Structure 1
Amino acid sequence: MLTDMPTAQPVSAPDAASDIPEVASLLRTSVMRMRRRLANERHPDNDLSLGSMAVLGALYACDEMTLGALAGRERVQPPSMTRMVNFLEEGGYVVRRQGETDRRQVLVSITDKGRRTVRKDRLSRDAWLAQQLVDLDADELAALRTAASIMERIATS
């Protein structure tokens, strides 16, 4: 456990635009720490990279996507996505097929193995996070629910 890191202090609602940089800095720090912690709480059988898991997560939600759409969603260049899909295909996590109307188009879909991997990984992380939330009161849980919605909106803008 890291003990030399400062703990996040409660933040009051911004009263003025001048508070925004401070809130942005506090939020960035908290989100990065949470990301690192959740990365450490992955299912023990999962040796896929976080990028690979993000691709599987996108396919889990959408069933099938083009390579270009995957690259755009994950904000990587198409050649990088091609390499990642090649790796996932070799592992049996995804399959590829040509588009029916445009043979140049490559469609990627998740396999049953990929779905199982995503579910196990999510369950492991969710269980850890749920345990951390147990001692929060109703107001704190409501605040986190609201914050999660806002953070999702920011992340997908």
Structure 2
Amino acid sequence: MSERKRIVDFPRPRLMDDTQSLPIALLRAREAVMAWFRPHHRKGGVTEQQWRVIRVLYFGGEMEAGELARRAWLLAPSLSRILKDLEAAKYIRRRPGESDSRQSLVSLSPRGTAMVNRVAPFLDGIHREIARRVGPDRVEALLALLDQLERALAPAPEARRRSRK
């Protein structure tokens, strides 16, 4: 008689299914929203990440590359490649920092500003259609809830200091 290894049945941890998972729900919602915007990014010849950089620069003006990465929610290595491509397309300008030549200051070029002004009416129309379908008050409430969620889950200042050491 051959001896089989007996598989021990451990109790399974209680895990919410994917319909109740906050991370998955947020990803599903993001994909539903981005499906409305992606075709316009493609028509404009920019990626979602490139558009985030352009948008941050449009509203924030010239800024240091590290700050741009944080505000556009991009990792520094990704931002380097994106900046190279946007610079080649003449949508942005880069210059060294005044006090530190290793620092890179990035701004939107006149061509980049013109592109934003050209596509803004289309993107604004998408925002209006989403608000029409969901309800403007609900979109406003959703944005407020997401802001509250982000603030509530942000690391405490003490935890941020410890993680930098």
Structure-1-length-normalised TM-score: 0.69
Query: Are the structure 2 counterparts of residues 155 and 51 from structure 1 closer, same or farther at C-alpha, using a change threshold of 3 Å?
Result: farther
Superposed displacement of residue 86, structure 1:
1.3
Q: CA deviation at 1:58?
A: 0.9
Larger radius of gyration, structure 1 or 2? Answer: 2
- Per the alignment, residue 72 of structure 1 pairs with 70
Q: Deviations over 1:56-112 (max 9, x none)?
A: 111111111112222233343323212211111111111111111112211011112
Q: Which amino acid aligns with 1:142?
A: D
Distance 1:49 1:100 in 2: 30
Q: 1:70 to 1:135 in 2, by over 3 A?
A: closer
C-alpha distance in structure 2 between counterparts of 1:154 and 1:143, whole Å? 16
Residues 63, 105 of structure 2: 8 Å contact kept: yes
Give me the identity figure in percent: 22
Amino acid at match of 2:140: R
Corresponding residue number in structure 1 for 2:80: 82
Does the CA contact (< 8 Å) of 2:36 and 2:126 recur in 1? Answer: no
Q: Higher helix proportion, which one?
A: 2
- 2:143 aligned to which of 125, 131, 148: 148
Unaligned runs of 5+ in 2: 1-15, 155-165
- Is the CA contact (8 Å cut-off) linking 2:41 and 2:51 kept in structure 1? no
- 2:114 and 2:60 map into 1 onto residues whose CA distance is 15
Q: What pairs with 1:9-28 in structure 2 (closer than 5 Å)?
A: 22=20, 24=22, 25-28=24-27
Residue type of the alignment partner of 2:141? T
CA contact (8 A) 1:53 1:118 kept: no
1:92 corresponds, among 64, 86, 90, to 90
CA contact (8 A) 2:97 2:104 kept: yes
Aligned to 1:105: 103
Pick closer, same or farther for the CA change 1:55–1:148 going to 2, 3 Å: same
Q: Kindly report the root-mean-square deviation, in angstroms, between the aligned alpha carbons of the 2 structures.
A: 2.8
Question: How far apart, in 1, do the equivalents of 2:146 and 2:63 lie?
Answer: 24
TM-score, scaled to structure 2: 0.66
CA distance in 2, matches of 1:75, 1:145: 22
**Partner residue of 2:55?**
57
Q: Offset at 1:48?
A: 0.8
The 3-state SS of whatever aligns with 1:100 is: coil
